[in-house]
């Protein structure tokens, strides 16, 4: 266990201890002066024993670390520096999650990459708890997480993106989409330009964008246009796979909303829907990709004046609908789409 993780644990224990001590202090106020004095003596003794025990544990851990005790105390001094995070009350400020974000703020300032990674991993671990995830999704914390996804370290970016992905899957976290999406797209564009092949970071970024896209607003329209523009002009060796497995999720989400449909109809986005058609006609990506292509096209046909750009894609839909050996879901969705096309 690293020294920083020990400190994080101690912060959380101290926070918990704070509330326990507060409770007993209130009880002690109701007792006589003599009883309070006796109790104070006992508490002082217990505190001394706890401090001695903690120091011994800390010393044992530090002996196996490359840092000395003095260096660890310097880290502690840095971490307890005043925070720029603002909370509604003192109790909120002392919660374990907020304590972790206070530590994150300080290690980011001091640019200690390994410590940043350790704190982010602890925050990511805590996203599995629904109540703690809601606290992590608090919009006040988005600047710190956004700072992490623009970090120089790929590892920091990946863990921060995984945290945002958890937030994007939470109902309360959806409200923070407008804050995260522009930064997510900015980093995704950079990855698209610099990478030769799609990677885990790029895939995680687009998963976040797809999840947040269910609450798309016109305020972030330019970010989406830039994402699809960069994707269509980049030189990824697996660009079709990336579009099929990742970006079609974004397209489907947009196609389910009026504002998203209007975006997909824009001339700047024409290549996007044409790319969807091409994946369909070439039957690329397997079942999931094909279903997403059919679903997006069906939404656009039903709700807008969008028309096919590639006649071959329409023939593929007919083939799917009449092929007895075709996957049942693909065949059914193709049949529904044909009915909608005939209605037009």
- Written in H, E and C, the secondary structure of 93-110 is HCCHHHHHHHHHHHHHHC
Tokens for 146, please give them: 């956004």
Residue 61 has pLDDT above 60, yes or no: no
Residue 15 has pLDDT above 80, yes or no: no
Residue with tokens 């070439």: 282
Q: What is the CA radius of gyration of the chain?
A: 27
- Segment (H or E) for 169: none
- Residue 174 class from Cβ within 10 Å (0-12 exposed, 13-18 middle, 19+ buried)? middle
Residue 189 vs residues 66, 86, 332: alpha-carbon distances, Å: 39, 32, 36
Q: Label residue 30 by pLDDT band (50, 70, 90).
A: very low
Mean pLDDT value of segment 241-250: 95
Which bin fits 285, alpha (ψ -120 to 50), beta or left (φ > 0)? left
Residue 40 has pLDDT above 80, yes or no: no
Residue 60 has pLDDT above 90, yes or no: no
**Per-residue model confidence (pLDDT) at position 33:** 54
66-70, 186-190, 255-259, 282-286, range with the lowest pLDDT: 66-70
**Per-residue model confidence (pLDDT) at position 343:** 64
**Per-residue model confidence (pLDDT) at position 78:** 44
Other beta carbons within 10 Å of 183 = 19
- Residue 271 class from Cβ within 10 Å (0-12 exposed, 13-18 middle, 19+ buried)? middle
In tens, the pLDDT along 73-111 reads 344 334 444 444 444 444 444 578 888 999 999 999 988
In tens, the pLDDT along 222-237 reads 999 999 999 999 989 9
Q: Give the SS3 label for residue 4.
A: helix
| Distance in angstroms (rounded) separating the CA atoms of residues 78 and 184 | 29
In tens, the pLDDT along 120-151 reads 999 999 998 888 888 888 878 888 999 999 99
CB 151 within 8 A of CB 157: yes
**Per-residue model confidence (pLDDT) at position 42:** 52
As a whole number, the mean pLDDT across the chain is 79
Residue 239 vs residues 4, 89, 173, 233, 270: alpha-carbon distances, Å: 40, 49, 30, 10, 17
| Distance in angstroms (rounded) separating the CA atoms of residues 342 and 326 | 21
Task: From 125, 142, 126, select the one nearest 179 (Cα to Cα).
Answer: 142
What does pTM read for this prediction?
Answer: 0.74
Half-sphere CA count of 120, side-chain side, radius 13 A: 28
| Distance in angstroms (rounded) separating the CA atoms of residues 256 and 265 | 13
**Per-residue model confidence (pLDDT) at position 35:** 58
CB 15 within 8 A of CB 95: yes
**Per-residue model confidence (pLDDT) at position 79:** 43
Residue with tokens 């912060």: 11
Task: Extract long-range pairs of 40-45: CB within 8 Å, 24+ residues apart.
Answer: none
- What are the backbone angles phi and psi of residue 283, rounded to the nearest 5°? 55, 45
- What are the backbone angles phi and psi of residue 67, rounded to the nearest 5°? -90, 150
């Amino acid at each position: 266990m690293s020294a920083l993780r020990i400190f994080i644990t101690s912060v959380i224990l101290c926070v918990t201890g704070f509330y326990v001590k507060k409770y007993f202090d209130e009880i002690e106020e109701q007792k006589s002066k003599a009883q309070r004095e006796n109790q104070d003596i006992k508490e002082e003794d217990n505190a001394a024993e706890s401090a001695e025990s903690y120091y011994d544990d800390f010393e044992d851990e530090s002996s196996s670390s490359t840092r000395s005790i003095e260096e660890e105390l310097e880290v502690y001094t840095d971490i307890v520096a005043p925070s720029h995070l603002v909370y509604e009350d003192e109790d909120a400020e002392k919660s374990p999650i907020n304590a972790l974000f206070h530590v994150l703020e300080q290690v980011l300032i001091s640019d200690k990459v390994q410590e940043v990674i350790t704190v982010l991993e602890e925050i990511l671990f805590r996203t599995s708890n629904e109540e703690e995830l809601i606290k992590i999704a608090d919009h006040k914390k988005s600047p710190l997480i956004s700072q992490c996804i623009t970090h120089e370290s790929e590892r920091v970016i990946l863990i921060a993106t995984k945290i945002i992905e958890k937030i994007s899957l939470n109902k309360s976290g959806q409200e923070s989409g407008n804050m995260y999406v522009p930064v997510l797209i900015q980093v995704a564009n950079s990855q698209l330009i610099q990478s030769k092949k799609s990677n885990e970071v790029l895939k995680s970024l687009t998963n976040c964008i797809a999840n947040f896209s269910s609450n798309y607003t016109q305020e972030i329209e330019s970010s989406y246009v830039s994402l699809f523009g960069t994707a269509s002009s980049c030189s990824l060796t697996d660009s079709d796979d990336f579009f099929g497995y990742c970006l079609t999720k974004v397209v489907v989400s947009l196609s389910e909303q009026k504002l998203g449909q209007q975006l997909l109809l824009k001339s700047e986005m024409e290549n996007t829907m044409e790319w969807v058609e091409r994946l369909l006609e070439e039957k690329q990506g397997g079942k999931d990709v094909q279903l997403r292509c059919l679903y997006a096209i069906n939404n656009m046909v039903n709700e807008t004046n969008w028309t096919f750009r590639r006649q071959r894609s329409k023939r593929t839909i007919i083939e799917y609908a009449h092929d007895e050996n075709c996957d049942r879901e693909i065949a059914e969705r193709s049949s529904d789409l044909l009915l909608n096309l005939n209605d037009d």
